[in-house]
Amino acid sequence: MQLADETDSGTIIDFGSGWGNLVIPIAKRYPHRQIIGYELSYLPWLTSRLLKQLLGLKNLTVHRQDFYQADLSSASVLVCYLFPQAMQKISDKLRLEQSNVNFLISNNFALPSWQPIKTIQVDDFYKSPVYLYKISNKSENEYI
């Protein structure tokens, strides 16, 4: 949330939105931004859909869909809390596809071959890192 405050005003997409632990608070915090979640597992997806309706979050959409197939043309910020192999595939997707993604925020797992512009630590037992990447100007951020 702290790092999302440092991004622009565009659409935020959560890759693997689970039960809505992140998309629900984000949708509440930014009522004027579009918030989109992608989640494959049925129960977590259904729960987040019900919470959206109960809380009247009109700016939130939760798709039951594979995020690797997501259309990123409207996305400004990606957020995720996944696993290393997924981060590699996301890195490949960002390189290969034309998108307007400006920032990526990743909880715990780094984006291979990209340089974070900021890293903070969560106040948990493991002091887990959360990375902020600037994506728009790829040539400045990529390692060759």
Ligand X SMILES: C[S@@+](CC[C@H](N)C(=O)[O-])C[C@H]1O[C@@H](n2cnc3c(N)ncnc32)[C@H](O)[C@@H]1O
Binding residues for ligand X (CB under 6 A): 14, 16-18, 21-22, 38-41, 44, 66-68, 81-82
Shortest approach of ligand X to residue 28 CB, angstroms? 15
Shortest approach of ligand X to residue 81 CB, angstroms? 4
- Whose structure tokens read 């039951």? 64
Tell me the Cα Rg of the chain: 15
Residue 68 vs 95, nearer CB to ligand X = 68
Residue 91's CB is within 10 A of a number of other CB atoms, namely 18
Q: Is 89 helix (H, G, I), strand (E, B) or coil?
A: helix
Shortest approach of ligand X to residue 139 CB, angstroms? 28
Cβ-proximal residue to ligand X, closest one: 16
CA within 13 Å, CB half, 125: 0
